[in-house]
Amino acid sequence: MQASAQFMPPAPTGRSLMRRPDFDPTLLRVLVAEDNPHFRRLIRTVLTGLAIDQVTEAGNGAEALKLVQTRHFDLGIVDFRMEPVDGIAFTRQVRTDPDSANPYLPIIMVTAHGDPKLIATARNAGVSEFLVKPISAKSLLARLVAVVEHPRAFIRTASYFGPDRRRRQQPFDGSEKRQAPTTPD
């Protein structure tokens, strides 16, 4: 059986990389979807400490979905457990809804539970990075650097659309080897 996967480079965000001299973190527009107002404030405080001050807050995934349809964001930070729309449902809708305004939105999921099954569920929904609470400025910065400086190519298959889930490039020799698209010189 031949695997069918389409590789796409990360979507351009129009932003410079974080380490370049012309990078201006004040230009990043971040959506924080978290049902706990204290934790939302904590994330905002950490982001502000990193000079990221364009932060929009949503109390749940449903509010966040409305916001991503009407405004442009460079990054989403979403909680796993929220009502009525949780972070997994939010991510799936952003990635796969035909009317999604930005299916390439980098999404960092935060949760108090680091269970490997939960991490796999988030990864399979299309999350870019995963962060277990309690967070620190250092851990959030590491995830920000990962999504801004090292964005992963997006993959579309019959059952998945999102960042390449493979963290390591390992040699594979077989009939189902995926091929990266060729680019004209």
For 56-95, what is each residue's pLDDT tens digit? 999 999 999 999 999 999 999 999 999 999 999 999 999 9
10 lies in a domain? no
Asked if residue 110 is part of any domain, the answer here is yes
Distance CA 42, CA 19 (A): 24
The residue range of the domain holding 45 is 22-163
Query: Is 169 domain-assigned?
Result: no
Q: What is the pLDDT of residue 40?
A: 95
Domain assignment of residue 174, yes or no: no
Residue type, 53: D
Residue 75 is part of a domain; what is its CATH number? 3.40.50.2300
Specify the residue for token string 């410079």: 16
**136 occurs within a structural domain:** yes
In a domain, 181, yes or no: no
Q: Convert the pLDDT of each residue in 148-183 to its tens digit.
A: 887 888 888 888 888 887 765 656 566 665 555 555
Residue 7 is given by DSSP the state E
Distance CA 2, CA 5 (A): 10
**What pLDDT score was predicted for residue 158?**
86
pTM of the complete model: 0.80
Query: Which one, of 123, 84, 85, 65, lies nearest residue 76 by Cα?
Result: 65
Average pLDDT over residues 85-110: 94
Tokens at 182, concatenated: 């060729």
| 9 belongs to a structural domain | no
Number of domains in the chain: 1
Whether residue 90 is contained in a domain is answered as yes
Q: Is the pLDDT of residue 107 over 60?
A: yes
Give CA 179 to chain center in angstroms.
Answer: 24
Residue 84 CA to residue 36 CA, distance in Å, equals 14
Helix (H) or strand (E) holding 118: helix 116-125
Confidence of residue 6 (pLDDT cuts 50, 70, 90): low
